[in-house]
Amino acid sequence: MRNGRRFAFQPLAEIEMNHEDKLSNLSATSVATETVELPAPAATGPSRRDFLQLAGGAALMSMVPPGVRSGAWAAGSDAPEKKEVRIGFIPLTDCSSVVMAAVQKFDEKYGIKIIPTKEASWASVRDKLVNGELDAAHVLYGLVYGVQLGIGGPKKDMSVLMSLNHNGQAITLSNKLKDAGVTDGASLAKKVLSKDREYIFAQTFPTGTHAMWLYYWLAAQGINPFKDVKNITVPPPQMVANMRVGNMDGFCVGEPWNNRAIMDKIGFTAVTTQDIWVDHPEKVLGTTADWVAKHPNTARAMTAAIIEAGKWIDASLVNRRTTAETVAQKAYINTDMDVILERMLGRYSNGLGKSWDDKNHMKFFNDGAVNFPYLSDAMWFLTQHKRWGLIKDDPDYLAVAKKVNRIDIYRQAATAAGVSLPKSDMRSHKLIDGVVWDGKDPKKYAASFKVRA
């Protein structure tokens, strides 16, 4: 060719890129190949032999224009920039795919070592993500977006790499309410709106998923969560102890703490979150935007390992039992294995004499449907933040979601793990009050609710 030499390199598979992005994301391990044009070396540069030797090494970076030195090429390869990653988690059943990615060594397959780090509260997770003590975390979807917008903590650009689970949370009411005749949403509303006393409900973080499920359900019963009851924030592992001593009348939290309250005979399940929204988004793998920018290959490897762990958990009842036995240990959730296993297998009892097999129990993979970071899921939490006055003005819902949810990283990781991708970045669902959410007009949706702040 004229004024140049031709070299073949291997790009990351199935990723749409412009020309500069292609140069920045070249991989030495993909099965596909692509030809990239490079300028011929100047007469004062390296010899032909030296130049050819540059093709496989970091020295080639000197031949790549400075403006495109990013992504995989920042390190000269697609190898993980960081071999050990500290992933924070809260003692909840839905931390399982993070834990099992390490225990079952799915992380090793992708050249990293995941170190699960047990945290005491969501506020601690938030702070350690922001200050860099944690590389990533099993974290509440809404917490990530709260930090992105500067509510519920310091403002910092954040990233969601994948969804970790669907379903598997619940709202527990106290046995004291049961003794007073409350067994469901309708009887709760009658009691609360009688104004005979102040009723207290707990969630786990002001912008988090549990707060949003609690508020949505109360509002669907005609109860304004900010005017008719008092809300407090309690870390998940402390919910049962606080209800035992009478600090709240109800709480929303992830498993196993709802089932623990039933086994300890202090509460009953009023509603599961899958009854509020079937296959709702829940925890995500979250980190800061800065961290992803510095460690794009590590982010991809970490995501792929956890996708595979979720797939392994969902593959069989035996694997789910092994998972329950593992995460029940003191280093993780620290409770009886049976408390975790029952609802992990979809075997529910509500503490009021009803038992059932729930097909919409907690899922970690579900043929890949769980893990894709849908833009509409992210936008829903923003609409609820607006509904309840946590943010004053409507943000550009779609733009914020596109910035935070790193679908590009997920697509790379899913390709590496051999997992199919959905046809759309959006999805549609009907919630418990009959209202459909599809992400098409988030501003109108946020303003449409009769019960709001």
Kindly list the distances between the CA atom of residue 120 and the CA atoms of 43, 80, 154, 273, in Å, as whole numbers in the listed order: 62, 29, 19, 23
Output the pLDDT for position 435: 96
Q: Of 398, 408, 400, 297, whose CA–CA distance to 18 is shortest? A: 408
Output the pLDDT for position 76: 59
Output the pLDDT for position 152: 77
Q: Of 130, 91, 139, 134, whose CA–CA distance to 115 is shortest? A: 134
In the chain, the domains with their CATH numbers are 4-75 (no CATH), 84-167+280-336+361-375+390-424 (3.40.190.10)
- Decide: 319 and 100 in contact? Cβ < 8 Å: no
**Owner of token pair 């899958």:** 274
CA distance 346 to 179: 27
- Decide: 216 and 148 in contact? Cβ < 8 Å: no
How deeply is 72 buried, as exposed, middle or buried, from its count of CB atoms within 10 A (0-12, 13-18, 19+)?
Answer: buried
Question: Residue 160's beta-bridge partner residues?
Answer: 286, 405
Token representation of residue 171: 């709202």
193 three-state secondary structure: coil
Asked if the bond preceding 422 is cis, omega within 30° of 0, the reply is no
CA distance 164 to 87: 13
CA distance 292 to 301: 12
pLDDT per residue, tens digit, the chain (453 aa), is 433 333 232 333 333 333 333 323 323 223 232 222 223 333 333 333 333 333 333 333 333 333 333 344 344 578 999 999 999 999 999 999 999 999 999 999 999 999 999 999 999 999 999 999 999 999 999 999 999 999 978 899 999 999 999 999 999 999 999 999 999 999 999 999 999 999 999 999 999 999 999 999 999 999 999 999 999 999 999 999 999 999 999 999 999 999 999 999 999 999 999 999 999 999 999 999 999 999 999 999 999 999 999 999 999 999 999 999 999 999 999 999 999 999 999 999 999 999 999 999 999 999 999 999 999 999 999 999 999 999 999 999 999 999 999 999 999 999 999 999 999 999 999 999 999 999 999 999 999 999 999
Output the pLDDT for position 421: 96
Output the pLDDT for position 117: 98
Output the pLDDT for position 50: 37
387 three-state secondary structure: helix
Question: Residue 251's beta-bridge partner residues?
Answer: 172, 202
